[in-house]
Amino acid sequence: MNNNTYYIVAIRTKYSFSDTADDIIAVKLDFGYVESVPNVVSSIDFGSTYYYTDNLGIKSEVESVHPQYGAPYIRTKANYTTKDNLLSLPRF
């Protein structure tokens, strides 16, 4: 089991106007590394932890989602907002 911790600071989406978590295709980590969503999903499933931190410093854990139809994707776990926090990050 892996117990690495990562912080997501930016996202890449399929389209510039994407507004759903399943449109995220890659993330940029705090140390500059870019990782594809399939790799993030796999890392989470094998025990790594990913976080998003908002502008107030509130940390939310990122989870992998495996829908019955469609590709697995990532989103933040439920917290004080109904929007997915990852979508508020800068795009790259």
pLDDT in tens, 6-20: 999 999 999 888 888
Question: What's the pLDDT band for 77 if we cut at 50, 70, 90?
Answer: confident
Each residue of 42-60: pLDDT tens digit? 999 999 999 998 778 888 9
List helix spans (H) across 1-92: 37-45
Q: What is the 8-class DSSP label of residue 39?
A: H
CB neighbourhood size of 15 (10 A): 8
C-alpha span between 36 and 75 (Å, rounded): 14
Counting the structural domains of the chain, the total is 1
- Separation in Å, CA 56 to CA 25, 47, 59, 78, 83: 25, 27, 9, 17, 16
Residue 24 included in any domain: yes
Please report whether residue 39 resides in a domain: yes
Predicted confidence band of residue 85 (pLDDT cuts 50, 70, 90): confident
Cα 65–Cα 84–Cα 68 angle in degrees, nearest 5: 25
**Token pair in block for residue 14:** 């399929």
| 89 within some domain | no
Q: Give the predicted TM-score (pTM) of the model.
A: 0.90
Residue 82 has pLDDT above 60, yes or no: no
Q: Which domain holds residue 22?
A: 5-81
